[in-house]
Amino acid sequence: MAMQEKRIALVTGGGTGIGRGIALALARRGMDVALVGRRAAPLEAVAQEVSALGARGVALPTDVTVASERAALIERVHAALGLLDLLVNNAGMMAGGDLVTLSAEEIEQAVALNLTAPMDLTRLALPDLAASRGAVVLVASAVSHVPLPSGSLYTATKTGLRAFGETLRYELEPLGVHLLIAYPPAVKTAMTAGMAAAAGVPIFPMLAPEKAGERIVSALFAHKRELQFGFSEQTTAHLYKIAPWLVKLGLRSQRRRFSRMMKAVRLNRREPTNG
C-alpha cells in the first residue's frame, strides 16, 4: 500500500513538540491521527488542530511506560478510528547529565520511555501494520551518531533505538512494512528550553518542531529509510566517521559547556515529554 493510501496513524508524544508537528503534517496529507501522551489537555488541543485540517483527530491519554496501558492502546485506537496503517514512536525524554548525578529512577524512566515503549508498541502494532503493509517511524537522535559529553544515558537509549530499528528491518521487509528512522537535530521544544543560554554562545540554532515534523513526514511519504538533517549535525557525523579522534578531541574541550547544557535540561524538565 502506498503511503498516500494510508489513513490511520498513531503518534506517541503527540501533544507537543515534534509529535505535534508530525501529527499536523499527517493531517495535511489526509491521515486520521490517534494522539497519545500522558496529559489530556495538549492532546485535545492538537486533536482540534487535526480536525481543522479536515482529518479526524482523537486524544488517547496513555502512559506508554506502563505495560498494561500499552497493551490496551491498540484496541482503543481500533475503537476510535480503526486498524492502524502507521505507528510513529516519537515520545521521549532528554535524559542528560553526568551519570553520577542521575538517580536509579531517572535511569529506569529514560530507558522505559525512550527504548522499551517503542519496542513494545511496535510489537503490539505489527499485526495491523502487516495487514495494511504499513509503516513505522522511530524518532531517534543525532547523538546516536556522535555521542556527546554528559549525555551517556540519553545517547545509550537513542543509540539503542537506532540499533533496534536497523535490526528490525530484517523482520519487517518480508511483511511489506516500511521503517523510517529519523535523526532530528536540536529542536526548539520545552525539553530543550534553557540549553541555548547554558551553551554561552551568541547563536544556538534550533529547528522549529513544526518544520521537524514536516521534514519527517515528507521523508516517510518519499519512502526513505532514514532521515538525517541539520547541517552541523550531518557535518559532525560525517567527520566522526572519518576522523573520530578529531571530533572527540573537540568534544573533550567542551565538556564543561555540555555539562551546563544538560544540567539546564534537567532543571527545566518537570516530567517526561511524552505529550
Rg of the chain (C-alpha set) = 18
Contact 93, 114 (CB under 8 A): yes
**Three-state DSSP class for residue 110:** helix
Cα dihedral 12, 126, 144, 201 in deg (nearest 10): -20
Residue 240 is among the residues annotated as catalytic for this protein: no
Contact 230, 184 (CB under 8 A): yes
Q: Residues in the chain, how many?
A: 275
Q: Nearest CA to 112 among 249, 240, 272, 275?
A: 272
222's grid cell:
518519499
Per DSSP, 150 falls in state T
Q: State the alpha helices, DSSP H only, in the chain.
A: 17-28, 40-52, 67-80, 104-111, 117-132, 152-172, 195-199, 209-221, 231-242, 244-253, 255-268
Distance CA(217)–CA(77), nearest Å, equals 21
Q: Which of 154, 170, 183, 240 is catalytic?
A: 154
CA 184 to chain centre: 8
Per DSSP, 228 falls in state E
- Where is 10: in which H helix or E strand? strand 8-12
147's grid cell:
555521542
Catalytic positions: 154
